[in-house]
């Protein structure tokens, strides 16, 4: 109901409670109740006795109505589930996926109390960031799924570059790096049978307008936010919408033309290829020159003895302070 009222108000100009009520089929009093709720949620709506209601501004919160307004995607974000606070959007998305939620469903939260990062780490999720999980049901084999978070990384980097002056880089497998510091990360989880993927959840966390003082002390020297790097507030809803649009069109390319064109794009955005890196993978530590990613998205290292190592999971440390 609120969505329909907002849709009408977004067309601009004043609209009377009576007209709104008639279009939607509810009473003026009910409209007034919804307007009050919208104001409470941060919408600035003027009302004048003769002219009716006027939408002056909308809040920059990742509310479903805001994300869906003007999104124009085919699949991603057709359903958006919002939580003001949740343990982890991954867990909500997983349970929705298990119950059969549509491909493209997005679960987004204002804050997470138990945000999860890769390799069992915590993901600090204070207010001001963007935290969301996307349900995908791609028709690919489980072994091909390593490519999906790399594709999501490209979408995030391109969306940031489109909306800001920043030049985001990708650290393998999919850290979003700005000015040598981590501004975002991607966690991919899936449910699969041996030869068939059931669902994949791509979880994206971005420090957007996150106040630097809210970073936990163990990451304050290596983390940044887009606002800190850009020097101004970044509209979160616009950014999230743009990520969804970019991701949808990159996934179309993936399904039509395979990973190769995206591999090239990823390498262009990478801060890892061409660098000497240390990779910690389980209990193993490997040092080598990052020379490529292969057609699966695995990182190819050339070690000092000339042999090559193929890495499919791990933490990469670039051995040059300036690159993160
Ligand atoms: C990483 O770099 O370690 C990945 C971080 C992924 C964080 C996001 S925030 C939205 C989604 N929900 C979570 O609990 N984690 C992911």
Output the domain CATH number for residue 128.
Answer: 3.30.930.10
Q: What are phi and psi of 235, to 5 degrees?
A: -65, 115
Residue 90 CB–ligand 1 contact under 6 Å: yes
Burial of 193 (0-12, 13-18, 19+ CB in 10 A): exposed
Q: Which of 299, 271, 310, 303 is nearest to 289 (CA)?
A: 303
Residue 54 alpha carbon to ligand 1 centre in Å:
38
Residue 227 alpha carbon to ligand 1 centre in Å:
19
Q: How confident is the chain (324 residues) per 10-residue block, as mean pLDDT?
A: 88 91 90 93 92 93 93 97 97 97 98 94 94 96 92 98 97 95 96 90 97 85 94 97 98 96 97 95 92 96 94 89 46
Asked which of 42, 57, 72 is the last residue of a domain, the reply is 57
Mutation to probe ligand 1, out of 85, 123, 152, 182 (largest number of atoms < 8 A from CB)? 123
Asked which of 57, 79, 101 is the last residue of a domain, the reply is 57
Say how far apart CA 131 and CA 290 lie, in whole Å.
30
Say how far apart CA 179 and CA 70 lie, in whole Å.
31
Summarised one tens digit per residue, pLDDT across range 79-110 is: 999 999 999 999 999 999 999 999 999 999 99
Both 155 and 251 in one domain: the answer is yes
The rounded Cα 81 to chain-centroid distance in angstroms is 14
B/e letters for 78-91, b = 16+ CB within 10 Å, e = fewer, are ebbbbbeebebbbb
Residue 62 CB–ligand 1 contact under 6 Å: no
What's the number of domains the chain is made of? 3
**Per-residue confidence (pLDDT) for residue 119, from 0 to 100:** 87
Residue 270 CB–ligand 1 contact under 6 Å: no
Task: Pick the atom of ligand 1 nearest to 115's CA.
Answer: 14
Asked which of 269, 292, 311 is the last residue of a domain, the reply is 269
Residue 112 CB–ligand 1 contact under 6 Å: yes
Both 108 and 165 in one domain: the answer is yes
Both 134 and 13 in one domain: the answer is no
Say how far apart CA 287 and CA 272 lie, in whole Å.
13
The domain that holds 38 is classified in CATH as 1.10.10.10
Both 108 and 243 in one domain: the answer is yes
Residue 47 alpha carbon to ligand 1 centre in Å:
41
Both 210 and 284 in one domain: the answer is no
Beta bridge partners of 189: 201
Both 39 and 129 in one domain: the answer is no
Say how far apart CA 59 and CA 66 lie, in whole Å.
8
Q: Which of 265, 225, 246 is nearest to 76 (CA)?
A: 246
Both 26 and 157 in one domain: the answer is no
Tokens of 122: 């915590």
- The residue whose CA has the least distance to atom 11 of ligand 1 is 203
Three-class SS of the chain: CHHHHHHHHHCCCCECHHHHHHHHCCCHHHHHHHHHHHHHCCCEEEEECCCEEEEEECCCCCCHHHHHCCCCCCCCCCCEEEEEEECCHHHHHHHHHHCCCCCCCEEEEEEECCCECHHHCECCCCECEEEEEEEECCCCCHHHCCHHHHHHHHHHHHHHHHHCCCCCEEECCCEEEECCEEEEEEEEEEEEECCEEEEEEEEEEECCCCCHHHCCCCCCCCECCHHHHHCCCCCHHHHHHHHHHHHHHHHHHHHHHCCHHHHHHHHHHECCCCCEEEEEECCEEEEEEEEEECCCCCEEEECCCCCEEEECCCEEEECCHHHC
Spatial contact of 181 and 165, defined as CB atoms under 8 Å apart: no
Both 127 and 100 in one domain: the answer is yes
- The residue whose CA has the least distance to atom 7 of ligand 1 is 205
Both 317 and 191 in one domain: the answer is no
Residue 267: other Cβ atoms inside 10 A: 14
Residue 89 CB–ligand 1 contact under 6 Å: yes
Both 258 and 284 in one domain: the answer is no
Q: Is the pTM of this model over 0.95?
A: no
Residue 133 CB–ligand 1 contact under 6 Å: yes
Q: What is the Cα gyration radius of the chain?
A: 22
Both 81 and 177 in one domain: the answer is yes
**Per-residue confidence (pLDDT) for residue 320, from 0 to 100:** 64
The domain that holds 289 is classified in CATH as 2.30.30.100
Residue 203 CB–ligand 1 contact under 6 Å: yes
Q: What is the dihedral of CA 88, 90, 95, 97, to 10 degrees?
A: 160
Range of the domain at 318: 276-323
**Per-residue confidence (pLDDT) for residue 87, from 0 to 100:** 98
- The residue whose CA has the least distance to atom 3 of ligand 1 is 117
Both 265 and 287 in one domain: the answer is no
Residue 74 CB–ligand 1 contact under 6 Å: no
Summarised one tens digit per residue, pLDDT across range 183-208 is: 999 999 999 988 889 999 999 999 99
Mutation to probe ligand 1, out of 116, 120, 170, 216 (largest number of atoms < 8 A from CB)? 116
Say how far apart CA 312 and CA 317 lie, in whole Å.
15
Task: Pick the atom of ligand 1 nearest to 89's CA.
Answer: 12
**Tokens 């660098």 map to which residue?**
275
Residue 187 CB–ligand 1 contact under 6 Å: yes
- The residue whose CA has the least distance to atom 16 of ligand 1 is 203
Residue 292 alpha carbon to ligand 1 centre in Å:
25
**Per-residue confidence (pLDDT) for residue 213, from 0 to 100:** 85
Say how far apart CA 83 and CA 110 lie, in whole Å.
7
Summarised one tens digit per residue, pLDDT across range 108-144 is: 999 999 999 998 899 999 999 999 999 999 999 898 9
């Amino acid at each position: 109901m609120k969505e329909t009222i907002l849709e009408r108000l977004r067309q601009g100009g004043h609209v009377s409670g009576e007209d709104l009520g008639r279009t939607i089929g509810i009473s003026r009093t009910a409209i007034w109740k919804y307007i009050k709720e919208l104001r409470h949620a941060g919408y600035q709506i003027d009302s004048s006795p003769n002219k009716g209601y006027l939408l002056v501004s909308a809040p920059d919160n990742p509310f479903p109505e805001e994300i869906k307004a003007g999104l124009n995607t085919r699949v991603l974000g057709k359903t958006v589930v919002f939580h003001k606070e949740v343990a982890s959007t991954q867990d909500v998305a997983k349970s929705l996926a298990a119950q059969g939620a549509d491909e493209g469903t997005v679960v987004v939260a204002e804050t997470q109390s138990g945000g999860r990062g890769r390799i069992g780490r915590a993901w600090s999720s204070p207010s001001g960031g963007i935290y969301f999980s996307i349900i995908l049901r791609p028709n690919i084999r489980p072994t091909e799924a390593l490519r999906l978070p790399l594709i999501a990384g490209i979408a995030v980097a391109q969306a940031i570059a489109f909306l800001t002056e920043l030049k985001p880089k990708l650290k393998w497998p999919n850290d979003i790096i700005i000015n040598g510091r981590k501004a975002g990360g991607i966690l991919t989880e899936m449910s699969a049978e041996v030869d068939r993927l059931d669902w994949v959840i791509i979880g994206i966390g971005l420090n957007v307008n996150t106040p630097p003082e809210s970073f936990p002390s163990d990451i304050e020297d290596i983390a940044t936010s887009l606002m800190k790097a850009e020097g101004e507030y970044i509209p979160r809803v616009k950014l999230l919408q743009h990520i969804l649009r970019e991701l949808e069109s990159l996934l179309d390319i993936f399904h039509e033309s395979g990973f190769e064109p995206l591999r090239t794009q990823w390498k262009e955005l990478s801060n890892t290829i061409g660098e000497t890196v240390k990779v910690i993978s389980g209990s193993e530590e490997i040092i080598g020159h990052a020379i490529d990613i292969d057609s699966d998205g695995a990182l190819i290292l050339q070690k000092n003895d000339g042999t090559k190592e193929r890495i499919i999971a791990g933490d990469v440390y670039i051995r040059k302070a300036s690159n993160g």
